[in-house]
Amino acid sequence: MDIRLQDVDFSYAGDAGFRLRIGRLDIPASQSLALTGPSGSGKTTLLRLLAGILSPQHGQIFVGDQSLPALTDPQRRAFRIRRVGFVFQDFRLLDYLDVRENILLPYRINDALPLDAAVQTRLDELAAALGLTGRLGHNAQALSQGEKQRVAVARALLPGPRLLLADEPTGNLDGDNARRIMELLLHHARAAGATLVTATHDLALAGRFDRTVDFNTFAHAA
Question: The domain containing residue 100 runs over which residues?
Answer: 3-221
What pLDDT was estimated at residue 219?
Answer: 60
Q: Is 31 helix (H, G, I), strand (E, B) or coil?
A: coil
Label residue 53 by pLDDT band (50, 70, 90): very high
Q: Is 220 helix (H, G, I), strand (E, B) or coil?
A: strand
What pLDDT was estimated at residue 112?
Answer: 79
What pLDDT was estimated at residue 221?
Answer: 54
Handedness of CA 175, 84, 60, 9 (dihedral sign): negative
Per-residue pLDDT of 129-186, as tens digits, reads: 889 999 999 999 999 988 998 899 899 999 999 999 999 888 777 778 788 888 888 9
Closest alpha carbon to 163 in 193, 191, 187: 193
Query: How many helical (H) and strand (E) elements, i.e. helices and strands, does the chain have?
Result: 8, 10
Residue 204: CB atoms within 10 A of its CB come to 11
What pLDDT was estimated at residue 220?
Answer: 56
What CATH number does the domain containing 37 carry?
3.40.50.300
What pLDDT was estimated at residue 90?
Answer: 87
For the chain, the domain total comes to 1
